[in-house]
Amino acid sequence: MKKYTQINDIKNLQELIKEAILLKMNPYEYAHLGKHKTLVMLFFNASLRTRLSTEKAARNLGMNVSILNVNDAWNIEFEDGGIMNTNSTEHIKEAAKVISQYADVIAVRAFPSLTDKAKDQSEYVLRSFEKYATVPIINMESATAHPLQALTDAITISELADKPRPKVVLSWAPHPKALPQAVANSFVEMMQMMEVDFSITHPEGYELDEAITKNTPINHKQTEALKDADFVYVKNWSNFKDYGKILNQDPNWMMTEAKLGKAKFMHCLPVRRNVVVEDAVLDGDNSLVIKQANNRTFAAQVVLKHILEGL
């Protein structure tokens, strides 16, 4: 693996999932693979799970970890050819090349603005690191994708499915703040690669990028969509067409125990209780969110392992 910035960097998903599950059983088996190797984690945005699980994954492999909140340094310029006489102190061309000399792998988190659709869709932060860095890049959630989360979700579904082709539904939920489409996008792409019966339910007008959803079935009637589901992945996203807007906060879209039925409940966390999902679901036996979060470590670890092996 030369990098992990998007789902399709995965060559053989089934093999990768199997390997992650083996790492979970024996996390220190490759503790010498990362000797004298450094993971630099760069955060343009806040993090809890990704920060702690990726750090742990790297340490399980024997790596050194350096963590930098980019806001503790200074503004980085991503435009080419401009006269840098305002707020940006350093250009990504220098920053990415320089950090590559202190790192064997660079992991980056950079959320979208949700105000400038074209700029967000260009993934200029992540692509600039890919372009100018001279070491492999890992996406710790970018403007449009969260492939480590999607791998986590694939591992979790693989571990817990009790039938060959489970029914998986991605169900939109209300939220008081405008959130990215990144988690939903990567989950959709991942489910398209798996042996699952996958569909999406969301209010009319909340379509994700069609280039991602392709021919995945979309149902605007939540109850109908959830019927006989084995796994229900709940997630808010702000509007994609009317970009970054909150057009719907209808509490009827909140996930409840009644709607969920016997399905397993999944969410990437953090989750707002009684807005996105009611307490009874999170506190009930069908919630997988804590197991999902645990798999974050092994998703990151299997990716790091493959990248280290390819150095």
Q: How far is the C-alpha of 168 from the C-alpha of 150, rounded, in Å?
A: 13
Q: In the window 13-52, what residues touch its own copies (CB under 8 A)?
A: 27-28, 31, 36, 38, 40, 43, 46-49, 51-52
Q: How far is the CB of 183 from its own copies (least distance, A)?
A: 14
Query: Judged by CB under 8 A, which of 256, 279, 284, 309 binds its own copies?
Result: 279
Q: How far is the CB of 51 from its own copies (least distance, A)?
A: 7
Site string for its own copies, 68-107 (x = CB under 8 A): xx--xxx--x--xxxxxxx-xxxx-xxx-xxx-xxx----
Q: How far is the C-alpha of 22 from the C-alpha of 24, rounded, in Å?
A: 5
Q: How far is the C-alpha of 169 from the C-alpha of 227, rounded, in Å?
A: 9
Q: How far is the CB of 105 from its own copies (least distance, A)?
A: 13
Query: Cα 281–56–44 angle (5° rounding)?
Result: 80
Q: Using an 8 Å Cβ cutoff, are 135 and 106 in contact? A: yes
Residue with token string 């435009």: 79
- Quick one: 169 or 293, whose CB is closer to its own copies? 293
Q: How far is the C-alpha of 224 from the C-alpha of 244, rounded, in Å?
A: 27
**193-203: burial string, b at 16+ Cβ within 10 Å, e else:** ebebebbbbbb
Site string for its own copies, 174-213 (x = CB under 8 A): --x-------------------------------------
Q: How far apart are the first and last CA of the chain?
A: 9
Q: State the residues that interact with its own copies by CB under 8 A.
A: 27-28, 31, 36, 38, 40, 43, 46-49, 51-53, 55-56, 59-60, 64, 66, 68-69, 72-74, 77, 80-86, 88-91, 93-95, 97-99, 101-103, 176, 269-275, 279, 282-283, 289-290, 293-294, 297
